[in-house]
Structure 1
Amino acid sequence: MAQKLKVPSTSRLVLEAAMSLYTSPLQQRYIAAIDFSETSGLFYDLKRQYSSIVDIICLRKESIRQMLQEKFSQSPQQQVVILGAGLDPLSLYLLENYANDISHIIEIDNGYIEEKQKIYTDILPETVPIHFSRCDITDTDLLWHKLRENGYKEALPTTIIFEGVFHYIRNEAFIQLMKLFRTTNHRNTVMMDYFLSDQEVPDGYLPAQQRVLELIETALGLSLNIHSRAVISSLLEYLDADQVKTVALHEVEKKLTGSNQLLHAPGEGLLEMVHFNI
């Protein structure tokens, strides 16, 4: 049996939380190649403080899938760039569902990207158009070089996945990053999420939200970047974003399940989704 990839529990937290979504044989082969034996203290603490954290992470990922379905039904033949790709096998999901609509996929991350590439190489045919590159996404000069090096074509419509990343960079870095993908005809689409600031959260939900964010900040030793809807609107206006659509997680749950058993109002669920053209 091949040795499994062993990474720190914090690096696979989101992957572990969203395990129920990785159901295809190909995704299962990928998951089987990662060592989950180490107990994640942060994951345990998050579930203890906020029992719905697994559902929230899954809803975030389901929302990205919903956005992708809508995008590819309208605009086939895209290239896909996944920024801060982490260990999530989103590329496998894309190939399984939209292979005919995607020219190639570029995954960018500053973590275990080579190890992830090794697993993909073991389970996928050689001809699969996925490219991997290690890069700090806030180093935009290097990022642009890495994108071009891995087949990025400016003229081709691009879907940029920016999931679970905005919390960890400053607004100025976000602006510079998004400027790389701006076009005169807004042909590129960005799909992302952001943590909500206290003013956007219902009073009854606020204590749980604050506990979760404080727990993450303490465990990772950093200050999370959280936003009001007004600030997000201002940032996207500055970028001249078009066709901006914000989606609250309770809407995602309703669309996915037909009812709201977990979330009932805007501001519940720690974060919101947004997609826009740029």
Structure 2
Amino acid sequence: MTQKLKVPSTSRLVLEAAMPLYTSPLQQQYIEAIDFSETSRLHYELKRQYPLVIEMICLRKQSIRGMLRERIPEFAGQQVIMLGAGLDPLSLYLLENYPAQISRIIEVDNGYLEEKQRLYHDILPGDHIIRFAKCDITDTALLWSRLLENGYREAVPAIVIFEGVMHYLSNNAFLQLMHLFKTPYKKNQVLLDYALSEEEVPAKFLPYHQGVMRILEAYIGMPLNVNNRADMAGLLYQLDAILETAEPLYETEKKVTGSNHYFHAPGEGILEMVSFRI
């Protein structure tokens, strides 16, 4: 690898927050190919004013990995679809830990996908089960075409990973997207996180919650999509989905670390984790 890849501010924030998870050989090779030298106002402001964001991101990723561990043994040869895959090397983690249990991984994103593909090729030369589909995920007709081109098969059970994405979509766009993956026997599973609306946040954590949202919204130039728990239940009802997991971040922290050092009650931690069958 001759030149390291410079990444956007949001990607840098996420990758640096999750650095403790990237301990395996392939993931370390990937991270070593990323240029973290440039500073960014977003990264600086969040780490300085709201350092719990780092813990939040890391717990989110640990929760996704935990849900994958529970789901993957259920079916042989599953597909994994990563919508809004970003620059996280989750595919490498899956290859290292579940090489015989996954038939195909399709990463979908509209930015930095070619660069990520080149890094993966340097680390894993030759053909492997990871495919890349450059696409705006809200263009569902194009997305479906790209999935089929990259080997997606409706008859094969799939895990759909929707991590860190719902905040940037409307609920209607989310519903249209999820309809692509509906199956008669609900054999597909969706793993996601969503940002909480303020009525779900304890009073003592509310200023922190508002501060983080204010910085993020100023950076992206638009409001983030937030939902309360009833909103999420309503969305799943419209999809005729079966809820598997609804996990506040304080529960994730207790499950992962054995204690609650950062988050202590439902609504703390900006977001919550959900998985459902569809």
Determine helix, strand or coil for the equivalent of 1:3: coil
Structural mapping, 1:251-262, within 5 Å: 251-262=251-262
Query: CA-to-partner distance for each residue in 1:172-223, whole Å, 9 max, x for gaps?
Result: 1000000000011000000000000001010000000000001000011111
- Paired with 1:248 and 1:23, the residues of 2 have a C-alpha distance of 26
Report what 2:51 is aligned to: 51
- Paired with 1:236 and 1:146, the residues of 2 have a C-alpha distance of 25
- Paired with 1:63 and 1:244, the residues of 2 have a C-alpha distance of 13
Q: 2:236·2:243 contact (CA, 8 Å) conserved in 1?
A: no
Query: CA-to-partner distance for each residue in 1:113-146, whole Å, 9 max, x for gaps?
Result: 0000000000014132100011000000000000
Report what 1:131 is aligned to: 131
Determine helix, strand or coil for the equivalent of 2:5: coil
In structure 2, what residue type is equivalent to 1:128?
H
- Paired with 1:10 and 1:82, the residues of 2 have a C-alpha distance of 18
Alpha-carbon shift at residue 34 of structure 1 (Å): 1.1
Moved more, 9-18 or 157-166: 9-18
Q: Which runs of 5+ in 1 are unaligned?
A: none
Determine helix, strand or coil for the equivalent of 2:126: coil
- Paired with 1:115 and 1:147, the residues of 2 have a C-alpha distance of 19
- Paired with 1:243 and 1:203, the residues of 2 have a C-alpha distance of 28
Report what 1:112 is aligned to: 112
Alpha-carbon shift at residue 75 of structure 1 (Å): 2.7
Alpha-carbon shift at residue 265 of structure 1 (Å): 0.8
- Paired with 1:24 and 1:244, the residues of 2 have a C-alpha distance of 29
Alpha-carbon shift at residue 44 of structure 1 (Å): 1.3
Determine helix, strand or coil for the equivalent of 1:100: coil
Alpha-carbon shift at residue 8 of structure 1 (Å): 2.6
Report what 2:274 is aligned to: 274
Q: Which runs of 5+ in 2 are unaligned?
A: none
Alpha-carbon shift at residue 74 of structure 1 (Å): 2.5
Report what 2:247 is aligned to: 247
TM-score (norm 1): 0.98
Report what 2:188 is aligned to: 188
Cα 1:11/1:243, change in 2 over 3 Å: closer
In structure 1, what residue type is equivalent to 2:37?
S
- Paired with 1:7 and 1:245, the residues of 2 have a C-alpha distance of 32
Report what 1:178 is aligned to: 178
In structure 2, what residue type is equivalent to 1:51?
P
- Paired with 2:199 and 2:174, the residues of 1 have a C-alpha distance of 22
Alpha-carbon shift at residue 257 of structure 1 (Å): 1.2
TM-score (norm 2): 0.98
What fraction of aligned residue pairs are identical, expressed as a percent? 62
- Paired with 1:172 and 1:97, the residues of 2 have a C-alpha distance of 35
Moved more, 251-260 or 266-275: 251-260
Q: 1:83·1:160 contact (CA, 8 Å) conserved in 2?
A: yes
- Paired with 2:224 and 2:169, the residues of 1 have a C-alpha distance of 8
Moved more, 100-109 or 35-44: 35-44
In angstroms, what is the RMSD of aligned CA positions?
1.0
Structural mapping, 1:1-16, within 5 Å: 2-16=2-16
Report what 1:161 is aligned to: 161
In structure 2, what residue type is equivalent to 1:84?
G
Determine helix, strand or coil for the equivalent of 1:161: strand
Moved more, 257-266 or 268-277: 257-266
Report what 1:232 is aligned to: 232
Q: 1:49·1:208 contact (CA, 8 Å) conserved in 2?
A: no
Determine helix, strand or coil for the equivalent of 1:99: coil
Moved more, 6-15 or 215-224: 6-15
- Paired with 1:8 and 1:197, the residues of 2 have a C-alpha distance of 27
